[in-house]
């Protein structure tokens, strides 16, 4: 049985990755971290042309290979307009919600390499001034980035080097509580990348040779729908997304469990693969739940839509408040590791 220390290791790596800003389209440094970590564990890793990372965990059966997919791109923003008052209108990268992002601190990355701080605020954000504060609909046109510099005009802001197309990254506020809860923006899906690194660490430490060849593809465009649409090595017959498990009304999963997704907005996952995942969870004593996600898409669905002839599945540690300030638990990480070990008979 895999030791729980590998869950702690997974969180250590996830936490480090969470502190690297990497919204969709701005993922180079996060990919560098991922490649370095897999390589340090002794597993060959290379960049894809799109900027993701493909790692080879080895294994005996090359003709029945498994592809594990997770993503390191996150939600974020891009400067859409430098406004006449020197503030910024932004457009979201991925499914960032203006309501959820209000009052969050941000970092603005310019193409010259300079980084500026700011915060996302409602336009006219002072309650003592704005009598309509409570009733204004929060949209990307009614909020703005207030830059923490002395700017009053668009010219002032442009003198800093800030222009349309610059990247806006939201503060993740990552922490682990004494009770084991894991809180941060962007647990979706950096927590899963940490889990796959924890699984790789377990293989290395114990000299395990997998019964079937296993590849890991850490993608960088999942949040906009095409992360997993390429880079399927030869011999792969099955792919499993390791992504966040949904927690919310109408679902059984909690933050302490591993979720097995039977269907999401893209349709059902492979009936056989889902069944085998359930049996593996039972065999390993992993605390799990099977759920249907109403508003969700995954890397592995992009893989199938690209034409890959493979079976597919989706698992992940339960995450509450998805696409917001998210929360999971170290037990959910551990149960996901146990399920991976059971599925691969290690």
Instruction: Please give the positions annotated as active site.
Output: 222
Instruction: Quote the pTM value.
Output: 0.98
Q: CA-to-CA distance for 178 and 181, rounded, in angstroms?
A: 7
Token code pair at residue 244:
């966040």
Phi and psi (nearest 5°) for 341?
Answer: -65, -45
CATH dotted code for 5-74+186-343 = 3.40.630.10
The candidate with the shortest Cα–Cα distance to 249, out of 320, 336, 326, is 320
Note the pLDDT tens digit of each residue in 136-195: 999 999 999 999 999 999 999 999 999 999 999 999 999 999 999 999 999 999 999 999
Question: What integer best gives the mean pLDDT of the chain?
Answer: 98
Tell whether domain 76-170 is in CATH 1.20.200.10: no
Q: CA-to-CA distance for 220 and 17, rounded, in angstroms?
A: 13
Q: CA-to-CA distance for 108 and 110, rounded, in angstroms?
A: 6
Residue 136 carries which DSSP code? S
Crossing angle of helices 28-40 and 187-205, rounded to 10°:
20
B/e letters for 309-339, b = 16+ CB within 10 Å, e = fewer, are ebbbbbbbbbbbebbebbbbbbbbbbbbbbb
Note the pLDDT tens digit of each residue in 291-312: 999 999 999 999 999 999 999 9
Domain ranges of the chain: 5-74+186-343, 76-170
Residue 29's H or E segment, with its range, is helix 28-40
The candidate with the shortest Cα–Cα distance to 292, out of 321, 325, 269, is 269
pLDDT tens sequence for the chain (346 residues):
999 999 999 999 999 999 999 999 999 999 999 999 999 999 999 999 999 999 999 999 999 999 999 999 999 999 999 999 999 999 999 999 999 999 999 999 999 999 999 999 999 999 999 999 999 999 999 999 999 999 999 999 999 999 999 999 999 999 999 999 999 999 999 999 999 999 999 999 999 999 999 999 999 999 999 999 999 999 999 999 999 999 999 999 999 999 999 999 999 999 999 999 999 999 999 999 999 999 999 999 999 999 999 999 999 999 999 999 999 999 999 999 999 999 999 9
What pLDDT shows up at residue 6? 98
Distances in Å between the Cα of 277 and the Cα atoms of 70, 260, 289, 341 are: 17, 7, 11, 11
């Amino acid at each position: 049985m895999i030791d729980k220390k590998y869950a702690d290791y997974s969180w250590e790596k996830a936490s480090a990755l969470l502190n690297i800003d990497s919204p969709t389209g701005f993922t180079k440094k996060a990919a560098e971290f991922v490649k370095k970590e897999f390589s340090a564990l002794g597993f060959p890793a290379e960049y894809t042309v799109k900027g993701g990372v493909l790692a080879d965990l080895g294994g005996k059966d090359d003709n029945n290979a498994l592809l594990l997919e997770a993503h390191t791109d996150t939600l974020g923003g891009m400067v859409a307009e430098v406004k006449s008052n020197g503030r910024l209108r932004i457009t979201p990268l991925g499914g960032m919600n203006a309501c959820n992002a209000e009052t969050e601190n941000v970092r603005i990355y310019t193409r010259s390499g300079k980084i500026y701080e700011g915060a996302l605020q409602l336009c006219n954000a002072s309650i003592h001034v704005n009598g309509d504060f409570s009733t204004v609909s929060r949209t990307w046109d009614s909020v703005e980035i207030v830059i923490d510099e002395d700017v009053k005009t668009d010219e002032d802001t442009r003198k800093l080097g800030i222009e349309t197309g610059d990247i806006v990254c939201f503060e993740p506020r990552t922490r682990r509580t004494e009770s084991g809860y894991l809180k941060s923006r962007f647990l979706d899906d950096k927590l899963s990348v940490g889990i796959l690194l924890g699984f790789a660490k377990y293989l290395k430490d114990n000299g395990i040779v997998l019964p079937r060849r296993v590849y890991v593809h850490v993608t960088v465009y999942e949040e906009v729908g095409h992360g997993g649409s390429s880079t399927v090595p030869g011999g792969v017959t099955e792919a499993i997304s390791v992504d966040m498990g949904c927690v919310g009304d109408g679902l059984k999963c909690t933050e302490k469990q591993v979720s097995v997704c039977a269907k999401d907005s893209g349709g059902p996952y492979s009936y056989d693969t889902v069944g085998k995942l359930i049996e593996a969870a039972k065999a390993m004593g992993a605390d799990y739940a099977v759920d249907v996600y109403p508003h969700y898409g995954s890397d592995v669905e992009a893989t199938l839509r690209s034409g890959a002839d493979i079976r597919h599945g989706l698992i992940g540690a339960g995450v509450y408040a998805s696409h917001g300030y998210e929360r999971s638990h170290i037990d959910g990480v551990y149960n996901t590791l146990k399920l991976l070990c059971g599925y691969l008979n290690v």
